[in-house]
Amino acid sequence: ISLYLHQPLGFKVFLLHFITRSVNAGTTIKRLKGIKEVLGQVEYKMITPFDILPSFYAVRIGRVLCDMVPCGPDEVEQAVKNAHAAYLKWSKLAGMERARVMLEAARIIREQRDEIAKVEVINNGKSITEARVDIDVAWQCIEYYAGLAGTLSGQHIQLPGGSFAYTRREPLGVCVGIGAWNYPFQIAAWKSAPALACGNAMVFKPSPMTPVTAVMLAEIYAQAGVPEGLFNVVQGGAETGSLLCHHPMVAKVSFTGSVPTGKKIMEMSAKGVKPVTLELGGKSPLIIFKDSELENAVKGALMANFLSQGEVCCNGTRVFVQREIMPQFLEEVVKRTKAIPVGDPLLDGTRMGALISRPHLERVLGFISEAKKQ
């Protein structure tokens, strides 16, 4: 299966190419073989940005898949202008018209669920079981906001003397979404669905570590019938994000990621008095008392710490256990942890896949080493 996104008139071609192989008694899966370049998708056409970033790796095997090509000032300018032009058309549609297009996008995602999930595994390294859930959450999110699109309304306010006032809800314009690497496709859907339902356009920048599946979402929106340029994908790191936050035509910024980066985005956006939505790193400690149901407590602790290889912003990084039940709790946690199937994340039996990068792996190993010393 090959997915081509292209620009006519000699621009380069973006290619996701899959090969088929047999696994476990004839079960057929599709593997991402290689991508020459990951390009920004602007107005559903592929553009070739200005420079080369470090290579993008297939996390599950640690092999270079492609060169990640960042977008510079010209590409960001083009993306924002195209988004604004599309917003002027999209915002004039009735809510139910926007809803129909979004429901079609959700349908296409459901139809392509397995293919998107397999690319997400290669994009991120999580198990195929979890990736399928992520794709389901994505189309459900789009469906939910499609249902709200036709219900947006203002208020009628009665004033003294027979006068009245009314309010109306209007779209902001061009919104920017900046995603994280732990839930790439899901976050792209979470940020774009409410923006599009309310009549806005979006320029989305995925994490440079997981650049692929956001482009697939852009193609799906295009297939569903959104105006050209309404959902654009630009690739890059901090410099590209800074260009987006400072752009005068951007009306709002939504970011998922670390607290230090979130602070910088808030500062940059404040200069243009742009509202921001920040979903930053959070930690969720667990407290387990002796009167708790031990079985449920162990399951909860394992889920809180090992879901998506522990690469979750609300990870249960600290587990406080009442002293009286500590031995039983620890014994059960160790036993179940050793039983977690670790392996190729594309295989259905795997429950723990690969960490996102070698530096992250070394950081985790450092934590383990320090814990052993203590």
Which residues are tagged catalytic?
Answer: 279
Q: How far apart are CA 186 and CA 175, in angstroms?
A: 17
Q: How far apart are CA 203 and CA 82, in angstroms?
A: 9
Angle, CA 138 vertex, CA 132 and CA 144 arms, to 5°: 135
- Do residues 245 and 267 make contact, with C-beta atoms less than 8 angstroms apart? no
Q: How far apart are CA 52 and CA 36, in angstroms?
A: 12
* E strand spans, 48-171: 55-58, 63-68, 156-158, 164-166
Residue 100's alpha-carbon distances to 57, 103, 169, 196, in angstroms, are 37, 5, 20, 12
Q: Which of 294, 369, 302 is nearest to 337 (CA)?
A: 302
Q: How far apart are CA 315 and CA 95, in angstroms?
A: 37
> Would you give the DSSP letter of residue 370?
H
Task: Count CB atoms within 10 A of the CB of residue 8.
Answer: 6
Residue 238's alpha-carbon distances to 179, 206, 335, in angstroms, are 12, 11, 42
Which run of H or E residues covers position 199? none
- Do residues 43 and 229 make contact, with C-beta atoms less than 8 angstroms apart? yes
